[in-house]
Structure 1
Amino acid sequence: MANTVPDERPGNETGIRRPRVESILEEALQKPLAVLQGGAGFGKTRAAADYLARSEYRTVWYNFTALDNNPSRFWESVSAAFALHHPALAEKMKLLGFPDSPQAFSVFLTDLTENLYTDRQAVVFVFDDLFLVDDIQVRTFLSNLIAARLENSCLLLLARSWPVAGIEAAVPMQLVGADDLCFTDEEAQALFVSSNMQVSLEEATAVNRYVSGWPIALSLLKMVMRREGTQAAMDALSVSKPRLFAMFEREIFFQYTPREQTLLILLSGLESFPRGLVQAVSGEKGRDLDQLMGVNLFIRYNVSARRFYFHPLYLEFLREKRHTLDEEYVIITYRRAAEWCRENGHYYDAINYYRRIGSYQEVWDILLLFEASRHTQTEAEFLIEQIKWLPDHFRNKTPMTRILLAVMLTNNLRFEESAAVLDVVQAELEKTQPGSAMLGECYAARGLIMLGREENNFDVWFQKADDLLPNGSSRWNNKLRLVDLGPGLNLQSARAGELKKSLACFTAGVPPMTRVLHGAGYGLDHLCECEFEFLTGNVRKAIEPAYQALYTAQSKSQYDIAGNALFMLLRIYTVLGEYQNIQDTLKHVHEYQKMDAAAGFGIWDITFGWFYSELGETNRVAGWVRNAVQYGHAPVGIERALLVRLRCLIADGHYHEALALLNQFEAVAKSKSAVITQIYVQLSRAVTYHYLRQHTSADTALKAAYKLAGGNGIVMPFIEYGNRTRSLLQRARETGIPGIPSGWLEEVHARASTFAKRHAFLTGRYHQQQNLRQDFGLSKREIHLLENLSQGLTREEISASMEISLNTVKSMTKQVFAKLGAINSADAVRIAMANQII
């Protein structure tokens, strides 16, 4: 990272060094968070910039503008700032999009730290003009960045007030306030003397106290005093804003020609502006531009962002003059600005400027430039807002506006609105444009929406779209991620035969879908076949379609499907107890995870998370997967992350938190009629209640899970919970549950017990191979008990040897089995020996 501070011009507003302020900043930047607090004109930016320019810190500086209240636009600008330091990191940030979910923020932190720690030089991340941003998601991003406590770095926030709503600061911090930034009497004298002004300390004190040490006022007074003397300056200025603006007018603005004054007023409507944008609007080039902008004390150039910024007070001063301009000049300026932003890829800014002059067609043209991928919720909300801003007559004559609107509404779980929009436009097109490509686009959107809602019969719509779009869709392409966080196979009803019907839908629908979507979803039919066989207990039959899905998807860069295929292979080999195949599968996952083209996919973390949750090493599961608060995801199936998250909570004994999470996701699953998700919800609820010894509730949940699964022969969810469901099913066998056949309980219990034994073997082998001793939390007496068991002693012999009652031996033995995840005494001894406990 370059040691970049905002202003490339020599000198500063005050013209002197201030060792007192530098010392305060030096101390503040030793903390993970530092805040410079003070109103407009207190010199926060200048104090920070002057200090950092002379320091050994590497600096990343970002200036907020009002446009950053759009999270996606903020992310685009932040990425551009990072591009000056690490272009590769900036590209990853652009691919990721604004991190509005724990998963995405975790990926961003990983990418950031990989680039940040190339050496040990400390880094300061500066966020300036914080007062301009009140968007809660942008503020949440700052909170998350603060909470991350990045090694060897400090976050420096420049704010008018502190604390700021929506930003948490749960780390050691230091606040540098307005009193620290104000000039002392001695500093004021040094300021005047630096300009070759003969001012005594007494005179400087009088001036300084007149303006209460306000840096901006002192800078203006210095200009007047040098020309007219001290008393004249004090007569001209008080701390009131009208007097300050009057001095702006007389001392600065008056120096420009009328044409230059007009340009400055016009530029004030652009928030901030790259050099190229100023040239496009003004026609000024090179040296003329530097002269125009550089002579003004209250215009600074941020090298990091490569943009000019007005001082907030000077910006307010200029905007009060907007009424003096002819509206035609304003429209021309915004159009030129919009055109330049569009040509240079600043789409959010271009839309903002086109909207200000009501250019509907241009806004729509730019919306079509947004990549047709699965969007974050913030980006989708932005697109929804823009489409709804378009007037009715425009949307009516441009059907694709409403088709895209329907898809974005589905993206953000607004299903009823989406259906209402698409039903209308489809009916219109079928009546007025039958057989048209636009109707084909509508059918493709219908198929995508049904797929996103996990509805069957989507195949019909893709077949119709395929007939009308021989060259594929003009909008949707292979950048779509169809199943990153969830399974492929859907089940809308628990009626018998529905699972086969769903598989038939994918078998028929995927080929035309991939043609329409230019390869998106390639291999999804094989993945669904694998899931079908696995869910119904035909585990070995699931292996071949899993590999078919893996290599088919890989050929079209469909990494979400390839990742899910690897996830299924991990589960298959775990159930079969094939340790080496598990290791080979994880190596494949690691290789994919390192590929730039696969960056940002959640399935890699989910797969590793599954593996570590199986081992009980929940601390090694990615933070966004462990986090029980889920937000920001697009409405794809979330079963994968949900399943791992629940396993972590249950493994860690957080049963009540698990129940709360189950309630949250059951509502989502029911809204989409996602039966497979509901099976996992009910089964996880049954296991959790069983651990809490609330057996009536556990039986009710187990019965609900069976009713959802039994008609379609779905058994694997009950089996692969292993030792957890084994004890639950054992109790159900003993007591009986009306509505669950005893034969089904016997079969599933037997298979769950087999898996539990294999699982214990795999866990022991893993820890043995890693040369790690797993901490099972055994007491010394429990270890002594295991030593006696390993020697073949009976319960009675152990009782006599340890001088405890027989009932205590039995109770302690059960506790040891539970801690080890053992099936019997022999299994407990094997696990203990594998982990070097005895």
Structure 2
Amino acid sequence: MKRKLWAQFDWVVNRERVDAMFDAGMAYPFVTVVAGPGYGKSTAVMDYARNTNRKLIWHHLLMIDNEPDCFWARAAEAARRELPKLADAMAKGKFPEASGDFHAFLKSLARILYQGNEALLVFDSGESITNEKILLFLDGLIKAEMENLCIIYISNVRPELGHLVGDGHHLQIGPGELQFNRHETIQLFRKYRRQAGDGECARLLELTGGWPLALHLIASHPSNKAHHGFGETPHFHVIAELFQQNYFVEYETAFQLLLVKLSFFDGVPLGLIQAIDTGNTVQTVDEMTRNIFISYDYSQSRFYFQKMYHDFLSQKRAMLSDEEKRDTYSKAGSWFCSRGFYLEALYCYWEIRDYSHYIDAMTHLPRKRRSRRSANMVLEHLNQFPESYVWEHEIVDLYRALLYINDMEIERAGEILTALADRLETQGPPPEKRLLLENVYIALIEVSFFQNNLDGLGYALKARPLMPEGGRIRSDDSMVVGNSTVFFLPDNTPGRLEAMFVFIRQFSDASRHLYGKSGRGFTELFTAEASYAAERFGDVLEYSSRAVFRAQEAGQHDIVLNAFTLQLRLALFQGNYDTARSVLAKITDYTEQAGCADVYPLLDCTAGMFFVSLGDTSEVPSWLSGGGGLPTDIPMDAGRDRIICALCHYLEERYTEAYAVLLELESILREHRQWCVRVTSHIIKALCLHSMGNMQKAVRSFWDAYNMTWQNNIIICFAEFGRPMEFLADAARAQTEMDFDTQWLDRVHREASAFAKRNSAMRKRHRNDAVIRHKARMDELTPRELEVMRCLAEGLTRDEMGSILGISLHGVKKHITNIYDKLGAVNRVDAIRIADANGIFDKKQ
């Protein structure tokens, strides 16, 4: 089967020297093949792969892979030929953006690998990937260091993959290793039925620097001689001339023009060729397949050009008239739209400044699938639309505002929307623009909630008569809450908490018809969260249960999970460990059943809150605890992740790191105000400063949180911190600079002390349960596997283990995979953590 894949590469030179390097690389979890274009990186890996018994997964990366969903779908297809079970599992899930989902993927992969399936996973054209989430995924996959898996990363540039680059955990193959030597150059010329004597071979190597691309071009055409004057290093204009003579002018004019047109795109779908080509498409595809500088990606049915050949074709665009260029982009835009590739369609329409079709494509681009990178690209385009067009088409300003909200520039979005609403109201919108004004009001409601003000009620009242039938604005599965707390106080005037109960009832009545199914359960969730702040615990359970019921029937997964999260928080505060465990299991099960990638960060944050409350940072997802790095692509609901990360640092007595995370959070919250997150941030900062001995600043930060809450008698968000809060309350009482209410401090001290006792009992229960859970796993290991487990903990290599234990290298590998399989571990680090938690290393050997 594999030989058929590479049957076309009859010109490949058998490079035993390079194959030996790859053989050595199989002992590493990660191999990088990094060199510029034309070094035969992919060819060298292909040539090695066809002679190995490993299962091969080859993923040729394109720019479209910067969209996580697209990356995941193409990766699943790449795995389907050799590992169909893995492909099916990937196809059923989503890109593992959340650490829980990522860990589940590793478990699935481990089950397959540890059943005797050795695999070679190749990521080709790694320079195409710039998306931070995908780079973090690749970094995590590499760091997992899984048995029976070697990852090869092919790129024109050095990969940005964390600490692994240059730290000895991987093998690097670069230009020096891929350059042809004298023996390989002679072999190459023989492949093309040419002879190269020692003298000519030396001159060729001197002129080309052993660059495989130039040597191939010279060897493939007898007229090309070494004395043609490459200079000391190969230059593009020389290679371009070789492209011109041998891979361009020999084609018919119609095919030349088609190649130039296709160079407009990065990765050319087969269907796009059919849309653009007016001739014989079968003949065209056959001609492209024979060109060694055009490759075909079978998993996605796309052609892609070798980069230098692509650059060469790009310089030929003057052959096309302006009308031909416009027609090409227009046809491509239509084809991309018809297939749902709206980002590619936007690119095409922007190139020809077709504003009307651009807006049409923009309308179909799902908002919740826009990454910051794609949103910023579109925003940059919209900001360059002619003023006259924008004035006649107000929807452009609406989209600009929505993108600013996506980018958390709330103030700017509010200014645009307010001006747009005023303009439409003044004009008295015609029937066709009533829907536009209705959308503007909905966006202004969103802005008002981000700004924690009550203007949303007024906009809801204005929007209601525009849509008497209701439900035209949002799709049923829109995320209106995300991973955030919805309750807020616009200010701390006395009685404001009670006023918010009245406000949310009024808002519920005014907005009942606005969202349709989207947002179902929102007002119940808001009431439940407000009840928690007021310590009306019966109302918390009643309204959170109502929120679950209403949101679940409408598929509003984020509202369901936030309501469950509030129930979990209540159980933890009341010291009900079993209830908290049960609710966490419900959240996990619901998330898995929903299959919605957008809510996995919420699951991780909720799990992080649970384990942090119990003082256990080892179970917190690594991306939250600081081990994997928090995402730089700030989501609309940023805040919870930073709070969990800061608490992990605080529990591990890394107070400086915790304080730094909170300072970063403050910079984010300048743009949008999340009341609960800001209060919690001030409290944790105070605790960190107190632990570092800076009492004055600690009390000042405590004062900031106090000023947001005390006049409404909100205590619970302070009491949740237990004994450290007792010390902080004592410090606040002892100072004289700030005038704290002593009765409020007494209540904080009293409730924090009571919570500390309940929490201590829960922590003890949690530690005992953890030991019981893992002990059963350890009892399954054989005596020999326990010996290998201890060797793993000592950091011994496989060769060293074999020598000490008197078993073969194959036997060592077999024991290691059995250990991982029995413990449910992903790698060495995971197995050591599980064994250490059960005290296996404390037992007599």
State TM-score, norm by structure 1: 0.82
Partner SS, residue 221 of structure 2: helix
1:234 counterpart (219, 226, 229): 226
SS of residue matched to 2:171: strand
CA distance in 2, matches of 1:514, 1:90: 37
The alpha carbon displacement at 1:270 in A equals 2.1
| 1:82 aligned onto 2:80 | no
| Residues 1:384 and 2:383 aligned together | no
State the shift of 1:426 in Å: 0.8
Q: Among residues 47, 50, 53, which one is paired with 1:50 in the alignment?
A: 47
Go from structure 1 to structure 2 and tell me whether the alpha carbon gap of 1:60 and 1:570 turns closer, same or farther (over 3 Å shift). same
Partners of 2:253 and 2:671 in 1: CA distance: 62
Match of 1:611 in 2: 610
Using the aligned pairs only, state the percent identity: 23
| 1:219 partnered with 2:196 | no
Report the secondary structure of 1:363's partner residue: helix
Pair 1:543 & 2:548 matched? no
Q: Tell me by how many angstroms 1:532 deviates.
A: 1.8
Displacement after TM superposition at 1:327 (Å):
2.6
| SS at 1:515 equivalent | coil
1:458-537 → structure 2 map (5 Å cutoff)? 458-472=456-470, 474-510=472-508, 512-513=510-511, 515-537=513-535
Q: Which shows bigger deviation, 672-681 or 181-190?
A: 672-681
Q: 1:476, 1:518 → 2: CA distance?
A: 7
* Residue type at the aligned position of 1:565: A
Match in the other structure for 1:14: 11
Which of 422, 440, 446 is equivalent to 1:427? 422
Cα gap change, 1:250/1:693 in structure 2, threshold over 3 Å: closer, same or farther?
closer
Name the structure 1 match of 2:693: 693
Task: Give distance in 1, aligned partners of 2:144 and 2:773.
Answer: 30
Once the two structures are superposed, the pairs formed by residues 70-219 of structure 1 within 5 Å of their partners are: 71-72=66-67, 76=70, 79-85=73-79, 86=87, 89=90, 92-93=93-94, 104=97, 106=99, 109-110=102-103, 112-120=105-113, 121-130=117-126, 146-147=142-143, 149=145, 152-162=148-158, 169=165, 171=167, 172-197=169-194, 207=204, 211-219=208-216
1:443, distance to aligned residue in structure 2 (A): 1.0
1:638-677 Cα deviation digits (max 9, x unpaired): 2x43443333222111222222233333344454454433
Name the aligned partner's letter for residue 106 of structure 1. S
Q: 1:31 to 1:159 in 2, by over 3 A?
A: same
Asked whether the equivalents of residues 100 and 604 of structure 2 are also in contact (C-alpha less than 8 Å), the reply is no
The counterpart of 2:33, out of the listed 26, 33, 36, is 36
CA distance in 2, matches of 1:356, 1:674: 40
Kindly state the Cα deviation for residue 432 of structure 1 after the two structures are TM-superposed.
Answer: 1.4
2:354 and 2:285 mapped to 1: Cα distance?
Answer: 32
Q: Which moved more, 1:202-211 or 1:598-607?
A: 202-211
User: How far off its partner does 1:618 sit?
Assistant: 0.6
Instruction: Establish whether residue 753 from structure 1 lines up as the match of residue 753 from structure 2.
Output: yes
Structure 1 residues 316 and 167: CA distance shift in structure 2, 3 A = farther
Which deviates further from its counterpart, 489-498 or 576-585? 576-585
Query: Aligned in 2, Cα 1:512/1:170: closer, same or farther, shift over 3 Å?
Result: farther
Classify the secondary structure of the residue corresponding to 1:292. Answer: helix
Report the Cα offset of residue 273 of structure 1.
Answer: 0.5
Cα distance in 1 for partners of 2:235, 2:360 equals: 47
Residue number in structure 2 paired with 1:644: 644
Kindly state the Cα deviation for residue 558 of structure 1 after the two structures are TM-superposed: 1.5
Aligned-pair CA distance for 1:358: 1.7
Q: Distance in 1 between matches of 2:50 and 2:174?
A: 21
- Partner of residue 409, structure 1: 404
CA distance in 1, matches of 2:614, 2:201: 72
Distance change (3 Å), C-alpha of 1:495 and 1:302: same
Paired residue secondary structure (2:153): strand
1:267 aligned onto 2:262: yes
**Structure 1 stretches lacking a partner, 5+ long:** 97-103, 775-838
Query: How far 1:471 moved relative to its partner?
Result: 3.5
Q: Relative to structure 2, which stretch is displaced further, 510-519 or 290-299?
A: 510-519
Which residue identity lines up with residue 488 of structure 2 in the other structure? N
The root-mean-square deviation of aligned C-alpha atoms, in Å, is 3.3
Q: Secondary structure at the match of 1:394?
A: helix
Q: Is the 8 A contact 1:703 1:737 kept in 2?
A: no
Moved more, 189-198 or 527-536: 189-198
Q: Distance in 2 between matches of 1:393 and 1:372?
A: 26
Aligned counterparts of 1:535 and 1:337: Cα–Cα separation in 2:
55
CA distance in 2, matches of 1:704, 1:509: 29
Q: What TM-score, normalized by structure 2, do the two folds share?
A: 0.81
Read off the aligned partner of 1:740 and give its amino acid letter. Answer: F
> Residues 141 and 162 from structure 1, CA distance in 2 versus in 1: closer, same or farther, beyond 3 angstroms?
same
Contact 2:488–2:676 (Cα < 8 Å) also in 1:
yes
Change in Cα spacing, 1:564 to 1:386, as seen in structure 2 (3 Å) is same
Quote the Cα distance in structure 1 between the aligned partners of 2:245 and 2:771.
78
Select between 501-510 and 134-143 the one with higher mean Cα deviation.
134-143
| 1:568-647 alignment, distance < 5 Å | 568-601=566-599, 602-627=601-626, 629=630, 631-636=632-637, 638=639, 640-647=640-647
What is aligned with 1:787? none
Q: Per-residue CA shift, 1:350-369, capped at 9, x if unaligned? A: 21122112211111111111
When residues 62 and 327 of structure 1 are mapped into structure 2, their CA distance, relative to the original with a 3 A threshold, is farther
Gaps of 5+ in 2: 80-86, 775-845
Report the alpha carbon displacement of residue 591 of structure 1 after superposing the two structures with TM: 1.1
State the shift of 1:284 in Å. Answer: 5.0
Distance in 1 separating the partners of 2:737 and 2:205: 85
Count of matched residue positions in the alignment of Structure 1 and Structure 2: 754
Q: C-alpha separation between the residues in 2 aligned to 1:300 and 1:144?
A: 29
**Residue equivalent to 1:559:** 557
Residue by residue over 1:751-776, the C-alpha shift from the partner in whole angstroms, topping out at 9 and shown as x without a partner, is 222221111222223333444599xx
For residue 709 of structure 2, give the secondary structure of its aligned residue in structure 1.
helix
Contact 1:58 1:124 in 2 (8 A): yes
Distance 1:146 1:366 in 2: 37
| 1:537-573 CA-partner distances (Å, limit 9, x unpaired) | 2334422222222222212122211111111111212
Change (3 A) 1:457 1:27: same
Query: Compared with structure 1, are the counterparts of its residues 594 and 163 closer, same or farther at alpha carbon in structure 2 (3 Å cutoff)?
Result: closer
CA contact (8 A) 1:44 1:158 kept: yes
| Mapped partners of 2:472, 2:497: distance in 1 | 33
Partner of 1:279: 274
Amino acid at match of 1:573: A
The match for 1:806 is none
Contact 2:181 2:210 (C-alpha < 8 Å) held by counterparts: yes
| Contact 1:237–1:244 under 8 Å retained in 2 | no
1:697 Cα deviation after fit: 3.1
Counterparts of 2:744 and 2:310 in 1: how far apart (Å)? 75
In structure 2, what is the equivalent of residue 818 of structure 1? none
Residues 79-106 of structure 1 show CA distances to partners (whole Å, capped at 9, x for unaligned) of 4343443366356446x7xxxxxxx363
What is the rounded CA distance, in whole Å, between the counterparts of 2:576 and 2:755 in structure 1? 12
Give CA deviations for 1:780-837 in whole Å, capped at 9, x if unaligned.
Answer: xxxxxxxxxxxxxxxxxxxxxxxxxxxxxxxxxxxxxxxxxxxxxxxxxxxxxxxxxx
- For residues 158 and 673 of structure 2, the distance between their equivalents in structure 1, rounded to whole angstroms, comes to 46
Shift in CA distance, 276/443, structure 1 to aligned 2, threshold 3 Å:
same
Q: CA deviation at 1:586?
A: 1.9
CA contact (8 A) 1:482 1:636 kept: no
Name the SS of the counterpart of 2:296 in structure 1: strand
Do the aligned partners of 2:713 and 2:744 also contact (CA within 8 Å) in 1? no
Contact kept, 8 Å, 1:4 with 1:61, in 2: the verdict is: no
| C-alpha distance in 2 between matches for 1:500 and 1:377 | 38
Residue in 1 aligned with 2:333?
338
- Per-residue deviation, 1:529: 1.9
1:356 counterpart (336, 341, 351):
351
Query: Matched residue of 2:588: which SS?
Result: helix
The answer to which of 12-21 and 491-500 deviates more is: 12-21
- 1:23 is aligned to 2:15: no
Write the distance in 2 (CA, Å) between the matches of 1:386 and 1:553: 36
Aligned AA (2:112): D
1:257 partnered with 2:255: no
For residues 282-321 of structure 1, the C-alpha deviation after alignment (integer angstroms, 9 at most, x for no partner) is 1455642332112222222122443212222222222222
Q: Which residue of 2 aligns with 1:796?
A: none
CA offsets 1:658-716 (integer angstroms, 9 cap, x no match): 22233333344454454433322232233223333333333333333222211112110
Partners of 1:165 and 1:617 lie apart in 2 by 28
Deviation of the 1:735 alpha carbon = 6.9
